[in-house]
């Protein structure tokens, strides 16, 4: 039952608070400190990240922020967790299909660290598209078996429904079909014989991934890949050659797939930081509005420092400044300021938080996440969810109203990155969320993402918006909720001024 709460002087306090503007000098100091060479790029589990934790803990303390649960610890704000890195040793791992042995790292590429076995069935392109009159799954029993298929889509589709064929040929689309059919995993066969074409580039990426290893939370399950890639040359040894198909070909049994990986493991200690601005309403003070940003970056790569000024020293400095401004706001609900690690390597810090939450997840009513907010047009910011069905709600509505009042234009570019920052971890648990994002640029994940390129006027504007939204949600009579599509589908959005730069993350 909804309990209607009376209006209280907290609104007056908010009005006084809003007169306090972000301190540009503090923001500049924080961004330059977090992106300094001494922080070594802030990679999770490194000495640089430990220095970052120390800097932020001191900043929390100096701001007078209260620890969430650990007032007596060595670092009262720290929420420690441990990652386990599992590395694959390709030279001592084995892979075979029937009586044919294939070499990992040359004929076969995968990031999988668990053994695999099962019958392997070849089903052409692995496309299930009855509307396009192509169905490689018709009459095929896959449950429990592995399935092999050509990558992409048939050349004979040219001139057809290009958009539908493009979607049908995507790897993720095929994986989803295979999962629904009960397959244990997929082997994708490269269609180009030149190893230095697609397969060669993929090998470089997966070799690097294998060196970094697979990460998991200690005591948790590894996020295992269900995908294996096979070169066109290796496929020939199985009597598979790519014909100019004009219709699905009959399925073919290739024999038993057997994969035995050799692995090593190491533990990586890390931590998130959490502080709280306590709520004052007895009925609501045990509810929390999370204000989050990740403080980690990619560290040193290729012997070069990646300072990560925009990604995400900017967002970290922003939530720290919001916390300073809201410290004495006396909100109805509590505000939980959460600085997470592990984002760049798989959202692990936020995952650790929700898997061992310091407060009941049912008490977390919203997450407001801030990531990469210091670049591009000064009066423009992107937000998600903007047009993601089932996720757009009062948080987005209220952010639009506040941004408009402050002369900020919100765009929908961030919808393309819905799954790629820590808000998504909360969304998967059914917690309403919103993600503020300043837009992609050519310095993303490059050594050139330096503090001198940060637009501090824009960062001040982002702090104002995040401050006002956080306090408004903390003081609202009703908690955030989803809105019907009929409501948000009518909203207009300006196009981003700069096209997004797509890079692997």
Contacting residues for 255 by C-beta, under 8 A, at least 6 apart: 97, 98, 99, 100, 119, 120
Nearest to 311 by CA among 325, 326, 330, 298: 298
Average pLDDT for residues 472-490, to the nearest whole number? 97
Q: Is the pLDDT of residue 13 over 70?
A: no
Q: Give the model's pLDDT for residue 155.
A: 78
Q: Give the model's pLDDT for residue 93.
A: 92
Tokens encoding 452: 């001198």
- Do the beta carbons of residue 274 and residue 337 sit within 8 Å? yes
Q: Give the model's pLDDT for residue 16.
A: 41
Give the span between the Cα atoms of 145 and 110, in whole angstroms: 18
DSSP 8-class letter at 343: G
CA distance from start to end of the chain: 43
Q: Give the model's pLDDT for residue 12.
A: 36
Nearest to 171 by CA among 149, 156, 192: 149
Q: Give the model's pLDDT for residue 111.
A: 80
Q: Is the pLDDT of residue 108 over 70?
A: yes
DSSP 437-454: E----TTTTSTT--GGG-
Q: Give the model's pLDDT for residue 190.
A: 87
pLDDT in tens, 151-173: 988 877 666 788 888 889 988 89
Q: What is the CA radius of gyration of the chain?
A: 25
Min mean pLDDT across 223-237, 274-288, 391-405 is at 223-237
**What percent of the chain has pLDDT above 70?**
89
Query: DSSP H helical segments within 156-268, as ranges?
Result: 162-168, 171-180, 198-212, 232-236
Residue 211 banded pLDDT, cuts 50, 70, 90? low
Residue 90 banded pLDDT, cuts 50, 70, 90? confident
Q: Is the pLDDT of residue 496 over 90?
A: no
**Which tops the pLDDT comparison, 352 or 191?**
352
Q: Give the model's pLDDT for residue 205.
A: 61
Q: Is the pLDDT of residue 263 over 80?
A: yes
Contacting residues for 90 by C-beta, under 8 A, at least 6 apart: 104, 105, 210
Average pLDDT for residues 290-317, to the nearest whole number? 96
Q: Give the model's pLDDT for residue 6.
A: 33
Q: Give the model's pLDDT for residue 253.
A: 94
Tabulate helix, strand, coil % of the chain (nearest 5).
35, 25, 45
Min mean pLDDT across 117-121, 232-236, 483-487 is at 232-236
Average pLDDT for residues 283-312, to the nearest whole number? 96
Q: Give the model's pLDDT for residue 219.
A: 86
Q: Is the pLDDT of residue 301 over 80?
A: yes
Element (H, E) at 259: strand 252-260
- Return the top range by mean pLDDT from 176-190, 193-207, 246-260, 463-477: 463-477
Q: Is the pLDDT of residue 195 over 70?
A: no
Q: Which residues pair with 67 in a beta bridge?
A: 275
Give the pairing of strands 134-135 and 128-129. antiparallel
Q: Is the pLDDT of residue 502 over 90?
A: no
DSSP 8-class letter at 495: P
Nearest to 272 by CA among 471, 64, 422, 417: 422
DSSP 8-class letter at 143: T
Average pLDDT for residues 396-419, to the nearest whole number? 96
DSSP 8-23: -THHHHHHHHHTS---
Residue 226 banded pLDDT, cuts 50, 70, 90? confident
- Do the beta carbons of residue 97 and residue 238 sit within 8 Å? yes
pLDDT in tens, 349-372: 999 999 999 999 999 999 999 999
Average pLDDT for residues 433-443, to the nearest whole number? 97
Q: Has domain 90-261 been given CATH number 3.50.30.30?
A: yes
Average pLDDT for residues 462-479, to the nearest whole number? 98
Q: Give the model's pLDDT for residue 158.
A: 64
DSSP 8-class letter at 277: E
Q: Give the model's pLDDT for residue 501.
A: 43
Q: Give the model's pLDDT for residue 14.
A: 41
Q: Is the pLDDT of residue 500 over 60?
A: no
Element (H, E) at 461: helix 456-475
- Return the top range by mean pLDDT from 11-15, 115-119, 471-475: 471-475
Residue 209 banded pLDDT, cuts 50, 70, 90? low
Q: Give the model's pLDDT for residue 4.
A: 32
CATH superfamily of 10-85+266-488: Zn peptidases (3.40.630.10)
Q: Give the model's pLDDT for residue 238.
A: 92
Q: Give the model's pLDDT for residue 202.
A: 67
- Return the top range by mean pLDDT from 4-18, 90-104, 319-333: 319-333
Nearest to 406 by CA among 325, 461, 473, 463: 461
Residue 94 in 3-state DSSP?
strand
CA 49 to chain centre: 19
Q: Is the pLDDT of residue 8 over 60?
A: no
Nearest to 435 by CA among 381, 478, 471: 381
* CA distances, 413 to each of 96, 156, 316 (Å): 44, 34, 21
Domain limits, the chain: 10-85+266-488, 90-261
Contacting residues for 225 by C-beta, under 8 A, at least 6 apart: 110, 111, 112
Average pLDDT for residues 245-264, to the nearest whole number? 90
Across the chain, mean pLDDT equals 89
Q: Give the model's pLDDT for residue 197.
A: 58
Q: Give the model's pLDDT for residue 471.
A: 98
Q: Is the pLDDT of residue 332 over 60?
A: yes
Q: Is the pLDDT of residue 17 over 60?
A: no
Residue 255 in 3-state DSSP?
strand
Beta strands, E only, 261-316: 263-277, 288-294, 299-301, 304-306
* CA distances, 17 to each of 13, 221, 295, 400, 458 (Å): 6, 45, 26, 21, 20
């Amino acid at each position: 039952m909804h309990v209607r709460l009376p209006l209280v002087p907290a609104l007056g306090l908010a009005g006084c608070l809003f007169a306090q503007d972000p301190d540009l000098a503090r923001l500049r100091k924080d961004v330059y400190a977090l992106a300094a060479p001494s922080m070594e790029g802030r990679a999770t589990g490194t000495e640089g990240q430990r220095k970052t934790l120390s800097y932020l803990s001191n900043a929390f303390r100096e701001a007078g922020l209260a620890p969430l649960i650990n007032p007596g610890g060595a670092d009262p704000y720290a929420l420690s967790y441990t990652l386990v890195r599992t590395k694959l040793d390709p030279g001592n791992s084995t892979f075979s299909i029937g009586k044919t042995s294939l070499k990992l790292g040359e004929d076969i590429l995968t990031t999988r660290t668990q053994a695999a076995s099962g019958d392997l069935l070849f089903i052409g392109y692995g496309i299930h598209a009855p509307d396009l009159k192509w169905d490689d799954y018709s009459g095929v029993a896959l449950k429990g078996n592995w399935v092999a298929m050509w990558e992409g889509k048939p050349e004979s589709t040219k001139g057809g429904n290009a958009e539908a064929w493009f979607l049908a040929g995507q790897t993720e689309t095929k994986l989803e079909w295979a999962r629904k059919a009960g397959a244990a995993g997929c082997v994708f066969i490269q269609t180009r014989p030149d190893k230095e074409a697609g397969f060669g580039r993929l090998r470089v990426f997966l070799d690097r991934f294998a060196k970094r290893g697979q990460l998991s939370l200690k005591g948790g399950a590894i996020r295992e890949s269900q995908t294996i890639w096979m070169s066109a040359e290796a496929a020939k040894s199985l009597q598979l050659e790519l014909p100019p198909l004009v219709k699905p070909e009959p399925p073919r049994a290739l024999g038993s797939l057997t994969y035995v990986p050799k692995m090593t493991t190491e533990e990586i200690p890390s931590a998130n930081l959490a502080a709280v601005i306590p709520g004052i309403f007895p009925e609501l003070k045990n509810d929390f509005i999370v204000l989050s940003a990740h403080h980690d970056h990619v560290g040193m790569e290729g012997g070069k420092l990646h300072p990560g000024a925009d990604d995400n020293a900017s967002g970290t400095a922003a939530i720290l400044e919001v916390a300073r401004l809201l410290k004495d706001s006396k909100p109805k609900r509590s505000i939980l300021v959460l600085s997470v690690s592990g984002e760049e390597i798989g959202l692990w810090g936020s995952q650790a938080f929700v898997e061992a939450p310091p407060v009941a997840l049912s008490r977390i009513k919203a997450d407001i996440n801030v990531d990469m907010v210091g670049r591009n047009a000064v009066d423009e910011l992107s937000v998600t969810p903007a047009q993601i069905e089932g996720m757009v709600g009062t948080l987005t509505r209220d952010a639009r109203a506040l941004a408009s009042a402050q002369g900020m234009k919100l765009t929908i570019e961030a919808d393309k990155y819905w799954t790629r920052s820590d808000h998504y971890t909360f969304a998967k648990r059914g917690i309403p969320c919103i993600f503020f994002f300043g837009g992609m640029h050519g310095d993303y994940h490059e050594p050139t993402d330096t503090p001198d390129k940060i637009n501090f006027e824009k960062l001040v504007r982002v702090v104002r918006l995040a401050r006002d939204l956080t306090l408004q949600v903390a003081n609202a009579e009703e908690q955030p909720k989803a809105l019907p599509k009929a409501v948000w589908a009518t909203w207009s959005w300006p196009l981003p001024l700069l096209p997004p730069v797509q890079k692997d993350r």
